[in-house]
Amino acid sequence: MNYQILLQQVVNGLSLGAMYALLALGFTLVYGILELINFAHFNVFMVASFIGMWALQLLGIHGQGRVLTGFALIGVLVFAFVVTMLLSGVLGVLIERIALRPMRNVRGTAAMITTIGVSYILFNIILLTVGADAKNFPNPLPVVRWQIGGVVLEMREFLIWGIALALMVALHLFVSRTRLGKAMRATAQDSEAARMMGVDVDWVIITAFFLGSALAGAAALIFGLYYNFTSFLIGYKAGLRAFTAAVLGGIGSVTGAMLGGIAIGLVESLGGQLIAVRWTDVIIFSILVIVLVFFPSGLMGRATPNKS
Amino acid sequence: MVDLGAKAAVLGRPFARISPSLRARLGILCIALLAVLFPVIHGNDADIDAAANALSFAALALGLNIVVGFAGLLDLGYAAFFAIGAYAYGALASWQIQPHWSGFWEPFQWLDLVARVHQPTGDLVHFQVSFWLMLPISAAIAAFFGILFGAPTLRLKGDYLAIVTLGFGEIVPIVARNTPTITNGAMGLNGVIPPQIFGYSFGIKALPYYYVGVGLIAFLIFTSYRLKDSRVGRAWMAIREDEIAAGAMGVDRVRFKLLAFAIGAAFAGATGTLYVAKLQTATPDMFMFPVSVMILVMIVFGGIGNVWGVVVGAMILQILQSWILEDMSEWLHALGRLIDVDWLQRVQLASSIELIFGLILVTMMLYRRQGLIPATRRVRPLSLEEQVAQVQRGGFTSLEGLGAVDRSDSGTLLSIKGLTVRFGGLVALRSIDLTVPAHSVVAIIGPNGSGKSTLFNVMTGLVTAEGGSINFAGEEIRGLAPHRVLERGIARTFQNLRLFPGLSVLENVLVGMHARLRTGAIGALARLPWNRREEAQARERALEILALFGNRLLPRADHLAGSLSYANRRRSEIARALAASPRLLLLDEPTAGMNPAETLELVEQIKSLHQLGLTILLIEHKLDVVANLADKVIVLDHGEKIAEGTAAEVRRDPEVIRAYLGRSAAVA
């Protein structure tokens, strides 16, 4: 096998990985605090991609025809990211407030079933209103390529990496440096104790949903800019991969979600190259099972506390 | 146990004179008659077809109900087993696989499983396995995959299991799509042979499939009920309610989860065969995620865990899909024409069925979690006499319920040496040595966080020790799984109460007997005479154990354990542990939260257990309780044993005073 092709797939995998990492953070933030797998996150991502599409269309960008440069490009991107992240963050908070808060102290699988229902509702609302066909995602980025040793690097890849890195660093700083971040960490450790110490747990949970969903919004825009399309179907596959990334990194761990996302991105691109694209899902799913069964705490996860 | 109160409660209702069991039988007979006569009354072929499909989904709902409703394992890829059953029949009863003929196939030809097809290029094999044979075979194949898939994953926590099954549900259609030699890929299998009976081919008429569906549903309902009201069903529900407590009460969790998975998969496998025989085709798209969700919606809608509920839920949703939404769309079209609104004339409500499913799922979870028909019956209110506790003094007045306690133990029953447990950097237990002589009461005391409960947890297999040995009756038990420890004869209660809140008090006690009973899935289904006898004896013994506590628990035997008062929950836990016929009883703060009178009562009851010959190790904070009960007291502090002796000796020990009251108190 030609090493250049492999190297090219590494470049692609890093871009996918950046997207999965952002999406995985949403799973990890919520799981870390509520110990709940939020299936609604799958389709918050999908809805966010449509929000991003409409935001760009609002600025008169349709399809790939209109290329922007300089300040116009920066302005458009900032607008698209801010609007998409804000609105999807609000969507996440609404889901928490309406559907999940009443389920917070219910034992068993009820809360998880609720998130499946919410996910299904989002999925079908988009299917019924927007339609089943894939939509052309507006993309104002100029195509700038560099050829380095047979590997093609595009400007949009640097842009994706830059944005993802900036958001993850910002999240890391938020969680580790701010007061609310400290409250989040405390709640994740022991929500009851945190509540007794005066932490407003409701507010912490809302923050987790907002941040997680906003990052899903960023991931959705990256998805659109990378693949140039969106459809009602994208949430399921991307969501399962991002969840695998979160588990691989150690669910509940912010750093772990980043590493796991990049690992899954590389597995997807290299696995597709080395084995066959049609088996990629099977490979990723096998990783999920193997990690869960043999390394349940993942790369960076804390050992599950003893509960008896 | 038909009591007068239940009869009185239904007085005045028209069917009150008929006994409840007869009433249930008559009800079932009516439903069966209705199901059999439906096609005769209502001859519309399309409607019979829709009813036949609805029956298939009701069968799937019954299978998923075993997994989710009984065992509490959220399976989001249940359609995968449906697909496996469908493809199993589809591949073995169609023209898809055609190997070259050889002598190997002759015995199969003789059995009429394959036919020899003459071809100019060489003879081929045509699979034509009978539908009736494939019903159980598909069930077995699906069950096999259930076990294959469950074995590595069922150890996972519940929420992880959900996502793994989601992935499994995704993988099976992908595999079907990517292995065209067996499944014909995305095109799907074609020309699946319709079932035949006595030379009559079912063809494409819906009617015979409808009757097969009715028969299948009847069998699955019967199976569900038999399993639910048995040792197997109680083990599943115990796992659903509290996995750790289920293990500690002797339920082999992995084994029973696998059993639930396999039986649920078997239901789906048989249904898949029926479904594909009816449609005479199978494509990967028929078994995707939406099917798994639809079945989940059916059981959530009908009532998770309720057998009739999930059937009703499945039928209603199918009827909604195939009749009501179609009719409503037509009404809207008519309305649109009438008032001349264009979009109303084009509305297709059926296409929004999945949205409706999502809304049902969320609405039911938020507002009616128990579903249309709740799984637990309401119990009659207690009479005043039953509510007023008869305070007992002098311990158990009757010890019948305990049966024969094994008095053969002698010498040292339990001997722990050098036991060390570490949680990360924290040493919870440091090289603990202790012995419990047979027929004695040993108490463990110590300040909070001194490692008392950890000691119980490591003895019962809930926590792994780093070093040391735990010798019970001459056998090393360190590292045994919780259910193995219970089988050896150690039963426990929990400091923070781990009853099965969704089960009745009686059922809680019956779960305690799990390890002493033998009935398995097949026995539960067949109800052979010895199974009936075992169950009857177990119930009788459970009631006797409840009767030990006077009128505290007995009138509440049918109440949910979660609805009891705190003290009664403590008593129920002790009753549950006693039901396991232990040789060593571990009580973790049995009197916590009880008032002085209740404490006194319980202390005397524990004393009678001791007098009967039971060996007891208890953790207790109340020193007067300890002084009253214990032959020997062991004091733990910061994971180390700091004193051992009689209550009076320990009370004078300066180390103990220092641990409890601080250094200055010890000096003074």
* CA-based nearest distance A125→chain B, Å: 7
User: Among candidates B492, B491, B499, which has minimal Cα distance to B566?
Assistant: B499
The two structure tokens encoding residue B309: 């509920």
Checking if the pLDDT of A145 tops 60, the result is yes
SS3 at position B491 = strand
Q: How much is the pLDDT for B341?
A: 81
Range 355-414 of B in CB contact (< 8 A) with A: 355, 357-362, 365-366, 369
Range 429-448 of B in CB contact (< 8 A) with A: none
pLDDT band at B407; cut points 50, 70, 90: low
DSSP string of chain A?
Answer: --HHHHHHHHHHHHHHHHHHHHHHHHHHHHHHHH----THHHHHHHHHHHHHHHHHHHTT--TTT----HHHHHHHHHHHHHHHHHHHHHHHHHHIIIIIGGGTT--TTHHHHHHHHHHHHHHHHHHHHH-SS-EEPP------EEEETTEEEEHHHHHHHHHHHHHHHHHHHHHHHSHHHHHHHHHHH-HHHHHHTT--HHHHHHHHHHHHHHHHHHHHHHHHHHHSEE-TTHHHHHHHHHHHHHHHH-TT-HHHHHHHHHHHHHHHHHHHHHT-GGGHHHHHHHHHHHHHHH-TTTTTPPPPPP--
Mutate which: B166, B295, B367, vs A, most A CBs within 10 A: B166
* CA-based nearest distance B239→chain A, Å: 11
Range 222-241 of B in CB contact (< 8 A) with A: 240
Q: What is the pLDDT of residues B34-51, one digit of tens each?
A: 888 888 888 788 889 889
Integer Cα distance of B187 and B191 in angstroms: 12
User: Among candidates A30, A211, A219, which has minimal Cα distance to A118?
Assistant: A30
Q: Which residues contact B655 (CB under 8 A, 6 or more apart)?
A: B635, B637, B642, B643, B666
- Write out chain A residues lying below 8 Å of B355, CB-based: 120-121, 124-125, 128
The two structure tokens encoding residue B603: 């202390």
A109 in reach of chain B (CB within 8 A)? yes
DSSP string of B521-553?
Answer: HHHHHH--HHHHHHHHHHHHHHHHHHHTTTTTT
pLDDT band at B9; cut points 50, 70, 90: low
Number of helices and strands (H, E) in chain B?
28, 16
Range 60-99 of A in CB contact (< 8 A) with B: 99
Average pLDDT over residues A52-74: 87
Across the interface, of A111, A112, A288, the residue whose CB is closest to B164 is A288
* CA-based nearest distance A174→chain B, Å: 28
User: Among candidates A226, A220, A271, which has minimal Cα distance to A242?
Assistant: A220
Other CB atoms within 10 Å distance of the CB of residue B344:
17
- Write out chain A residues lying below 8 Å of B358, CB-based: 117-121, 123-124
The two structure tokens encoding residue A139: 């993309």
CA torsion through residues A39, A42, A43, A47, sign: positive
Checking if the pLDDT of B319 tops 60, the result is yes
Q: What is the pLDDT of residues B237-260, one digit of tens each?
A: 999 999 999 999 999 999 999 999
User: Among candidates B85, B282, B159, B230, which has minimal Cα distance to B535?
Assistant: B230
Contact, B267 vs B30, CB < 8 A? no
Q: What is the pLDDT of residues B522-542, one digit of tens each?
A: 999 999 999 999 999 999 999
User: Among candidates A285, A271, A237, A272, which has minimal Cα distance to B175?
Assistant: A285
Checking if the pLDDT of A17 tops 60, the result is yes
* CA-based nearest distance A188→chain B, Å: 17
- Write out chain A residues lying below 8 Å of B300, CB-based: 113
The two structure tokens encoding residue B500: 């099965």
Calculate what percentage of chain B has a pLDDT beyond 90: 46
User: What is the pLDDT of chain B when averaged over all its residues?
Assistant: 87
Integer Cα distance of B618 and A205 in angstroms: 41
**Minimum CA–CA partner of B304 in chain A:** A110
User: Among candidates A219, A224, A222, which has minimal Cα distance to A242?
Assistant: A219
Based on the number of CB atoms within 10 Å of its own CB, is A294 exposed (0-12), middle (13-18) or buried (19 or more)? exposed
* CA-based nearest distance A285→chain B, Å: 6
Based on the number of CB atoms within 10 Å of its own CB, is A14 exposed (0-12), middle (13-18) or buried (19 or more)? middle
- Write out chain A residues lying below 8 Å of B244, CB-based: 307-308
Average pLDDT over residues B132-139: 94
Q: How much is the pLDDT for A189?
A: 85
Average pLDDT over residues B594-614: 88
Integer Cα distance of A291 and A243 in angstroms: 12
DSSP state of B69: I
Integer Cα distance of B112 and B192 in angstroms: 16
User: Among candidates B259, B246, B241, B247, which has minimal Cα distance to B304?
Assistant: B241
User: Among candidates A114, A149, A140, which has minimal Cα distance to A39?
Assistant: A114
B71 in reach of chain A (CB within 8 A)? no
pLDDT band at B665; cut points 50, 70, 90: low
- Write out chain A residues lying below 8 Å of B362, CB-based: 99, 114, 117-118, 121
pLDDT band at A305; cut points 50, 70, 90: very low
Q: Which residues contact B561 (CB under 8 A, 6 or more apart)?
A: B499, B500, B501, B502, B503, B504, B505, B508, B569, B572
Checking if the pLDDT of B161 tops 80, the result is yes
Mutate which: A101, A113, A236, vs B, most B CBs within 10 A: A113
Average pLDDT over residues B309-331: 87
DSSP string of B278-311?
Answer: HHSEE-GGGGSHHHHHHHHHHHHHH-TT-HHHHH
* CA-based nearest distance B51→chain A, Å: 26
SS3 at position B580 = coil
Q: How much is the pLDDT for B157?
A: 74
pTM for the predicted model, two decimal places: 0.89
User: Among candidates B383, B474, B441, B482, which has minimal Cα distance to B625?
Assistant: B441
Integer Cα distance of B555 and B537 in angstroms: 19
pLDDT band at B277; cut points 50, 70, 90: very high
- Write out chain A residues lying below 8 Å of B160, CB-based: 37, 247, 292, 296
- Write out chain B residues lying below 8 Å of A108, CB-based: 72, 158, 240
- Write out chain A residues lying below 8 Å of B423, CB-based: 306
Contact, B82 vs B61, CB < 8 A? no
Across the interface, of A110, A124, A293, the residue whose CB is closest to B355 is A124
Within a 13 Å sphere around the CA of A215, how many CA atoms are in the beta-carbon half?
33
* CA-based nearest distance B152→chain A, Å: 7
Pairing of strands A229-230, A135-136: antiparallel
Cβ separation of A36 and B159 shorter than 8 Å? yes
Based on the number of CB atoms within 10 Å of its own CB, is B452 exposed (0-12), middle (13-18) or buried (19 or more)? buried
Contact, B429 vs B419, CB < 8 A? yes
Checking if the pLDDT of A308 tops 50, the result is no
Q: How much is the pLDDT for A98?
A: 94
Mutate which: A124, A251, A295, vs B, most B CBs within 10 A: A124
Average pLDDT over residues A64-71: 81
Q: How much is the pLDDT for B2?
A: 47
pLDDT band at B96; cut points 50, 70, 90: confident
pLDDT band at A39; cut points 50, 70, 90: very high
The two structure tokens encoding residue B355: 């949205």
Cβ separation of A113 and B166 shorter than 8 Å? no
Mutate which: A34, A292, A304, vs B, most B CBs within 10 A: A292
Cβ separation of B361 and A114 shorter than 8 Å? yes
Cβ separation of B365 and A278 shorter than 8 Å? no
Considering B152-161, B411-420, B593-602, the range whose residues carry the highest mean pLDDT is B411-420
Across the interface, of A247, A279, A293, the residue whose CB is closest to B152 is A293
Cβ separation of B359 and A118 shorter than 8 Å? no
pLDDT band at B94; cut points 50, 70, 90: confident
pLDDT band at B664; cut points 50, 70, 90: low
Q: How much is the pLDDT for A19?
A: 94
Q: CA-CA distances (angstroms) from residue A120 to A116, A213, B361, B365?
A: 6, 17, 9, 14
